[in-house]
Structure 1
Amino acid sequence: MDSPFKRKLEEIYQRYGFELAKVYEPEDVVVFTLKTGYFDNADIVPLSANANTKKPFEDFSASGYACTVRSFLSPEQTENELFKGFFSVSSILDRLEKDYNQFTNNIVKSLAEDARYEYINAPYSVNGKSGIKSPAGEVVARLNSPRPILFLIEAAAGFGKTCTAYEIVHKLIQEKSYLPLFSELSRNRKAPIFRYVLLDEIDRKFPTLSSRLVQSEIVNGRVVTILDGFDELLRKTDEVDDFENQEPMLETIGQFLTGKAKIVLTTRRTVLFEGDAFHTWAADHSEEFELVRIRIGEPSLVDWLPEDRLKAIQATSLDIRNSLASPVLLSYLRCIPHDKFQAAIESPQDLVERYFSFLLERERVRQDLQMNVETQKSILTTVAGDMITCGYTSEQRDYIVDLVLKNCIQEIEEALARYPSSERPDKEFIANKIASHALLDRSNKEENKIGFINEFVLGYFVAANIFQDKEWLNDDVRFLEPAVASYRPRTPIERRELLDRIRQSLDFTPISYKADFTARLIGAIDFPLQSDEAEGLEFDAIKFGQKEIASFQFNDCTFRSCEFALDNISYATFLNCKFYGDNVATGIPAGPIYVLGEIGDSEFIKNAIGNIGHSAADNLSNQSNLLQRHVLEKFWPVGREKLMHKHRPISGICNGHGGFRPDEIFESIHELKKRGILLQPNNASFVELNFDRLPEIRQILGRTQ
């Protein structure tokens, strides 16, 4: 007996470790056996609705097998039943739901006893277009796709990456159609490699199953991989944002993206995912898997705060644009009791300190911890300092306890002295209370890791270290960005002080970070932007042109209510940028400014720089062939026998002018698209070479056959 039906069943059972033991042709039954340690198991599988399972059951039971008689099912149904049984789907979903409830309770329980957690959507984009569902909804809606998909969810420090990851898990728990492989990646003092990290997660989450079986179900799309904090793995070399050093890690991810696999990575915005190299890598793999890039923006006050509290805040002198850009503070103002809310907005300049004093005082009462607010801050600052020095954001509980005992002995002894002598605990007792602090997170129970509960809190204590050390110098963005985020709600003077302390560190970071952090702290770019480019930044009420901007390119950036002093701007290119709100341009440009492929209202700057269209068009008519050759050489460089790229990012083509103006190159790209030589793939930021027009491409490039 050999049929496609039987062969398919055999293939499925073998993948789960079974062996074909016997075929009962008259009974129309096959028996698969599995040995697991001491036990021998047998599945009696009918091949038709009329199959007779009695004799096979009796034979194998008599041989000592624990037998299970299966119902007649299709191969797909059989595979689904094996998946549910082997992966203990129900129990894993129950455990994940408990983890979700613990995580959400930890967020709100420190604010009020009756506070309820609610995931609140922030504005977001999907592959550059505004989203209309939710970040988690965008992921879940695509899980049925037959193609493998890499979801990249990006957000600034403290803007909800982990909450979004948990929300995806929560939706999958409710649907019960997929099994999440969820991990919060924490970079400890070792330098992990992605493949080993993922395989280790598989072994930890499914200890009784072979990693090969789990990987096969990832490929089948039944196991959805969700890795929170991917940027934690990127600091294994000093060149964290150097694409060539990190490309092997992305290639490893690509190896898992086959079949119907879905992998979700959450990460802070990192230069690794910007620029020509990454875009080219993504385009080169576009036929193998799809990239869905979700960027989460700043929260909207209307979504977070009830109307009465929003009106109360608007009636104060609180700088809403800066002070309430943090979901952490919005949660605080949303959940705390009414009397605490009134006290918090009475002195807006003290909002951050009131937030921490509120939490630390509650913690003192909750744990019966004889330690005042300032002492608690001192110990947590020490913990953050060790994180900075040793380069980790999460560590084993025992390590944190030992760290406190070693470095905070004076604070511990002062606390012990406040206990009555008859009730006085030992030092280890106090250190363990600190390790159980409400501002420290213990959600990743399997590894018993401890880190700060969110990046805003981490940033607060990182900033405390920065101000303690006049010689502080560190270019690790995992600490710089949270520090900047924690200081945005503060006064302009305080923000300027932090910037002055980290300026030297920012000189060692890529220009995108330096521009972003400076803009967030002082509302201006007060250093030159020259011969470089920035991508994917959001500027809100920022002043440009205080210092020279020359030969600089802004790619896919968003400008809201910004000011441009054109006198200090020359040879600047705004490519595929978005302009919203009341942007203003003043003065006479110091040199050419190009606004290409813009979205929104860019008339403010076009009117100021004059109409450049006619001169560009005249020039194009005289040298269109040279321009087209320049564009096509980005796909097929001079000296190469074969084509190097099928896709290229428009930003990379327009940069590195080769003697041509960006607007000329941009218009030439559009001309080649009109002629069908270049095509537009799914991502509007790319162009694709049309291989059907290869003879014409050769002719433009002057290449022989």
Structure 2
Amino acid sequence: MKGDEPKLIIVEAAAGYGKTSTAYEVLHKYANIEMDIRPIFMKLEKDRSANTFRYLLLSHIDRDFDIQLKNDIVIKNIKNGRIPLIIDGFDELLSKDLDEGKQDTAFGEVETMLSTIADLLTNRAKVVLTSRKTAIFSGPSFAEWYNNQKEAHSTFSLIRYQLDSPTIEQWLPNGRKQKLPFADSSSVSNPVLLSYLRYCDDKDFKKSVKTPDELIDNFFSFMLRREMERQNLPLSPSEQRKIFSHLACIFGGYGITADARSRVKEQIGEIAYDVIANYASSSQDIDNITNSLTNHALLDRKGCSNVGFINDFIFGLLLKDSIIEDGTNPMYHEFHQSTPNSYLAKAILASSILGEETKSSFWECLKKECKLYSEGQFWADILLKGETKHELSSLYISDCTLAKKFIGNSEEPLKQCTFANVKFSNCVFDEAGLHRCYFISCTFDNCQSINEDLALIFMDCDFYNCDSWIKGYPQDDATEDICLPDNEKEESLEVKILQKYLKVDNRNRRMKMISKVREEFLDNSKEFHKCFERLVSKKLLCCNGDKSFLTDEGFTYITSKL
């Protein structure tokens, strides 16, 4: 956040991993700086209205600043760096197109929002965005948008941070860490659970560490028992959890993450009327109990007047409860059918820490209750079943770690899928279930083939800037001197590839996504692959994940050929 140049800072993380906490920490740091700086904090929540990002920005300006202070004065100070803009939950405004795998359509919508932000990024402006990890910011469309901004003489810098999952060592003292019975300690590497395990008393800790399912149940029981004391709630923990699982189902069906407090209260009153009525008395009538549930610890105020779930992890677990338990109810089944994949992803990720039986049950219920599109189905298979189980095409999976998974299924293969900057650890690959897939800048730690004798026979994948899980494959083709090509055709291909990294003036370089460059040479894919690897080995191109750049040597070489 320091420096005089304009900056767009993107913070990405999975549900419950600290995006909002990071945004508030940035806000807190500004509050402690003794200078004439006053940030705007925008917490975006998808409610029932269809407001544009620009409208929301102007609404925040009107609300946060004196009504007599005109919008253009505030915007001028944003551009000058005196009013940093912190936007939490940028992904909340994304449409259903992204869920359905329509990346180009979805990015068209994102591009409008980003262009509004880019217009502010002049002089000393600072804008911070937090977002769940999506293909939007790691995909080729975003890289192309940023390149276009630079070509249009925008001067802002782009900085991306990814918040990784916390470790038990960072959160728990040795005494408690050693008592965890989980074979895979990463199963509880979630800030919400680690906070509970760190601060609960010894009695609750002993009850919670037997199995992953008991950990979740005891965590909810602890929270809900506390509400019975704090608010004198007469409802049992199981009754409270059922009410909020129904509320999560309704939020998912409407595609919202928050709603007006009055509507949330009304909704709770409708879905829990019979239960609440059983406990109503002269000292606590129905309205009083309903009001207490609307003030529940599982809910939080969002913005001025909206209420939503306290975080995505809690929302995801409660939505999972509803999908498993409420399928026979026609109303809830209809809500499940309407739930966007981005909301289902929160339930899938939150449920990935549970026991195998519960995960398998949830996976089966997802098939019956919900409509999963390609990427959502991939993650449901991987996180809940530990293997790919559906035929899927043209996926783009990037910037993640897959551990102890089975990749590829000969009966339900992955076709023309791209894995970029993925860390595979202790995975097993079925080459017969991988048709023309691409691995870009991936790593393979202790991985193997399901059938080593047949692995090379069925191998039909290309590897860019990385080796494969098979030792010695692919063989190093980059032995020729790039400056002395064997023939004019080879030199022509080199020039064509390197030219993609020059701007239209042929004088300035630009970053390109390897996956995007590859698509432009599909008719000559084998020759392109060999040539590209040779360019990298000769240090004319350098790679960082799916991103690739011309080196100084590469720039000198290509300009000499033009």
Aligned counterpart in structure 2 of residue 558 of structure 1, from 398, 423, 447: 423
| Residues in 2 aligned to 1:515 and 1:617: alpha-carbon distance in whole angstroms | 41
The DSSP-based 3-state class of the residue aligned with 1:609 is coil
Question: How does 1:42-53 map onto structure 2 within 5 Å?
Answer: none
- Report % sequence identity: 27
TM-score, normalised to structure 2, is 0.85
Question: How does 1:606-685 map onto structure 2 within 5 Å?
Answer: 606-607=470-471, 609-613=473-477, 621-622=486-487, 623-631=489-497, 634=500, 646-656=510-520, 657-661=522-526, 663-667=529-533, 669-670=535-536, 674=540, 685=547
- Asked whether the 8 Å contact 2:135–2:396 carries over to 1, the reply is no
| Residues in 1 aligned to 2:309 and 2:123: alpha-carbon distance in whole angstroms | 37
- Asked whether the 8 Å contact 2:89–2:132 carries over to 1, the reply is yes
1:154 aligns with 2:12: yes
Amino acid at match of 1:265: L
- Deviation, 1:359, is 0.9
| Residues in 1 aligned to 2:545 and 2:222: alpha-carbon distance in whole angstroms | 47
1:593 aligns with 2:457: no
Aligned counterpart in structure 1 of residue 22 of structure 2, from 156, 164, 172: 164
- Deviation, 1:634, is 4.5
- Deviation, 1:285, is 2.0
Q: Which residue of 2 aligns with 1:19?
A: none
Per-residue CA deviation, residues 484-531 of structure 1 (Å, 9 max, x unaligned), is 1221221112112212222478865353x4323422222222223544
Q: Residues 207 and 585 from structure 1, CA distance in 2 versus in 1: closer, same or farther, beyond 3 angstroms? A: farther
Q: Which residue of 2 aligns with 1:224?
A: 84
Q: Which residue of 2 aligns with 1:336?
A: 200
1:371 aligns with 2:238: no
Q: Residues 567 and 357 from structure 1, CA distance in 2 versus in 1: closer, same or farther, beyond 3 angstroms? A: same
Amino acid at match of 1:332: Y
Q: Which residue of 1 aligns with 2:93?
A: 233
The DSSP-based 3-state class of the residue aligned with 1:186 is coil
1:525 aligns with 2:388: yes
1:215 aligns with 2:75: yes
Per-residue CA deviation, residues 69-100 of structure 1 (Å, 9 max, x unaligned), is xxxxxxxxxxxxxxxxxxxxxxxxxxxxxxxx
- Deviation, 1:478, is 3.5
- Asked whether the 8 Å contact 1:191–1:233 carries over to 2, the reply is no
1:686 aligns with 2:548: yes
- Asked whether the 8 Å contact 1:571–1:593 carries over to 2, the reply is yes
| Residues in 2 aligned to 1:534 and 1:643: alpha-carbon distance in whole angstroms | 33
Per-residue CA deviation, residues 573-607 of structure 1 (Å, 9 max, x unaligned), is 2212244x433345223134333223xxx5x7251
The DSSP-based 3-state class of the residue aligned with 2:463 is strand
- Asked whether the 8 Å contact 1:396–1:447 carries over to 2, the reply is no
1:538 aligns with 2:365: no
Per-residue CA deviation, residues 313-368 of structure 1 (Å, 9 max, x unaligned), is 1xx2464232x032111111111011111121245441111111111111111111
The DSSP-based 3-state class of the residue aligned with 1:340 is helix
- Asked whether the 8 Å contact 1:318–1:349 carries over to 2, the reply is no
Amino acid at match of 1:351: L
Per-residue CA deviation, residues 216-261 of structure 1 (Å, 9 max, x unaligned), is 2211112211111111111276767422233111111111111111
- Asked whether the 8 Å contact 1:555–1:577 carries over to 2, the reply is yes
Aligned length, in residue pairs: 535
**Which of the two has higher C-alpha Rg?**
1
TM-score, normalised to structure 1, is 0.69
Q: Residues 207 and 540 from structure 1, CA distance in 2 versus in 1: closer, same or farther, beyond 3 angstroms? A: farther
The DSSP-based 3-state class of the residue aligned with 1:437 is coil
Q: Which residue of 2 aligns with 1:202?
A: 61
Per-residue CA deviation, residues 178-218 of structure 1 (Å, 9 max, x unaligned), is 43211211111111211111111111111342222221221
Q: Which residue of 2 aligns with 1:68?
A: none
- Asked whether the 8 Å contact 1:243–1:272 carries over to 2, the reply is yes
| Residues in 1 aligned to 2:397 and 2:169: alpha-carbon distance in whole angstroms | 30
Amino acid at match of 2:441: N
- Deviation, 1:540, is 2.0
RMSD: 3.4
Q: Residues 384 and 684 from structure 1, CA distance in 2 versus in 1: closer, same or farther, beyond 3 angstroms? A: closer
Aligned counterpart in structure 1 of residue 311 of structure 2, from 454, 462, 465: 454
- Deviation, 1:394, is 0.9
The DSSP-based 3-state class of the residue aligned with 1:658 is helix
Question: How does 1:270-289 map onto structure 2 within 5 Å?
Answer: 270-286=134-150, 288=154, 289=156
- Asked whether the 8 Å contact 1:184–1:229 carries over to 2, the reply is yes
1:576 aligns with 2:441: yes
Amino acid at match of 2:266: D
More deviation, 191-200/270-279: 270-279
| Residues in 2 aligned to 1:397 and 1:633: alpha-carbon distance in whole angstroms | 56
Q: Residues 509 and 279 from structure 1, CA distance in 2 versus in 1: closer, same or farther, beyond 3 angstroms? A: farther
| Residues in 2 aligned to 1:568 and 1:157: alpha-carbon distance in whole angstroms | 31
Q: Which residue of 2 aligns with 1:309?
A: 176
- Deviation, 1:479, is 1.5
| Residues in 1 aligned to 2:407 and 2:558: alpha-carbon distance in whole angstroms | 44
Asked which structure has the greater RCO (Cα within 8 Å, sep 6+), the reply is: 2
Question: How does 1:115-154 map onto structure 2 within 5 Å?
Answer: 143-154=1-12
1:292 aligns with 2:163: no
| Residues in 2 aligned to 1:285 and 1:224: alpha-carbon distance in whole angstroms | 20
Amino acid at match of 2:548: F
Aligned counterpart in structure 1 of residue 288 of structure 2, from 426, 429, 437: 429
- Deviation, 1:369, is 0.9
- Asked whether the 8 Å contact 2:480–2:534 carries over to 1, the reply is no
| Residues in 2 aligned to 1:206 and 1:526: alpha-carbon distance in whole angstroms | 53
- Asked whether the 8 Å contact 2:406–2:429 carries over to 1, the reply is yes
